[in-house]
Chain A
């Protein structure tokens, strides 16, 4: 089915391309959103992804699934965006301590208003996202695609251009690191 779609797009870009966009747009949008954490930025990035798909569909060799190829573009574009944003921030606060040893960075969030009451779900998600943001890039990609977007480890391996065992290990390490970071956070704020 995918091969037919690619062939159709190569022959007649307009009609079949619309079909492709409508099929993948939501998943691409959400994949971008997981990394940039902002709806407007995610929409812009999703558009960039499909512009690139449109321009380079002729160079798609078909050695991976079309979906993996599209999500790979989405992940790369999102990470580039995040890197640029961080660079801008670092430049603005050039004298701050930003950028020291990502691995050991501690999760810092404002303490909950009332530590004795249950944290709101939204706040929990925010804490989790901040903790994911502190993970090394590969672990961050693997855990985000696996847990938020429910991609299989095989699909993640295709997107990340690595082996399935490497993805298993990345997810395992990401989970451990997340637990550690969250423990430290709650020890301080509970």
Chain B
């Protein structure tokens, strides 16, 4: 048998698998399971009580409030900082004054000479 014939034989045999395909048997509890599912779907859903609804709304409002407060304080912080110190040098001077530092005190060479 030539290779071509061999390939053709395999192709035909594979195509014949259509007739030998396995068939599934249905589960004996199929209808019972289906009925349970349908009953669960058609059962009216429990209504939420007034308190549950109010608590849900309150939670969302609180969350929004916290976010808004955070944004507000962050804006305020950056605004104050930029208005007080127009540039970096001014800010450093202000800090130095606050900590009573002068140029000698942070010059490490002076400490060595002493």
Contact = CB atoms under 8 A, between A and B. Distances in A.
Interface of A: 18, 21-22, 25-26, 29-30, 33-34, 39, 42-43, 46-47, 50-51, 54, 119, 121, 124-125, 127-128, 131, 147-148, 178-179, 182-183, 186-187, 190
Interface of B: 3, 6-7, 10-11, 13-15, 17-18, 20-27, 30-31, 33-35, 37-38, 41
- B contacts with A: majority SS: helix
A50 B18 CA distance: 27
Across the A-B interface, the 4 shortest Cβ-Cβ residue pairs: A147-B18, A182-B11, A186-B7, A125-B17
A179 B24 contact: no
A43 to B, nearest CB: 6
B26 A121 contact: no
Contacts of B14: 119, 124, 127-128, 131, 182
B11 A33 contact: no
A99 B85 CA distance: 59
Contacts, number: 73
A125 B30 CA distance: 27
B21 A148 contact: yes
A29 B10 CA distance: 30
Given A29-B24, A51-B38, 11 more contacts: A21-B30, A22-B31, A25-B30, A119-B10, A119-B13, A121-B20, A128-B17, A147-B18, A148-B21, A179-B15, A186-B7
A26 B30 CA distance: 10
Contacts of A21: 30-31, 34
